Amino acid sequence: MNKENLEQRDFDEVLKELEGIVSTLEKGDLNLEESLKKFEKGIKLSTHCLKKLNEAEKKIETLVEKMGGKPEVVSYEEEEE
């Protein structure tokens, strides 16, 4: 999997693959070499997902600012109250 192919993939698809890797590693059925390969791939997928989430957050902040609002970070817990 090269970086260009990863950039073209859908966020949800990458996240699902990452969840599959986590599940596989948690089972502990792989040998050390296979586990390290899966872990490395998982790190790449995780980094990609984090990048996409940060991009989405910036877009949302920009939209809020354009609507005359001030960007404000509110934790999920505070929002539920």
Q: Which of 8, 7, 5 is nearest to 47 (CA)?
A: 7
pTM summary value: 0.74
**pLDDT per position as a tens digit, 22-41:** 999 999 999 999 999 999 99
Residue 58 domain boundaries: 3-80
If one compares 55 and 64, the residue with the highest pLDDT of the two is 55
Say whether pLDDT at 81 is over 60. Answer: no
Mean pLDDT of 48-62: 90
CATH of the domain at 42: 1.10.287
**Residue 76 above 60 pLDDT?**
no
Contact 45, 65 (CB under 8 A): no
State both tokens at 63. Answer: 């939209």
Into how many domains does the chain fold? Answer: 1
The interaxial angle of helices 32-66 and 11-27, nearest 10 deg, is: 150
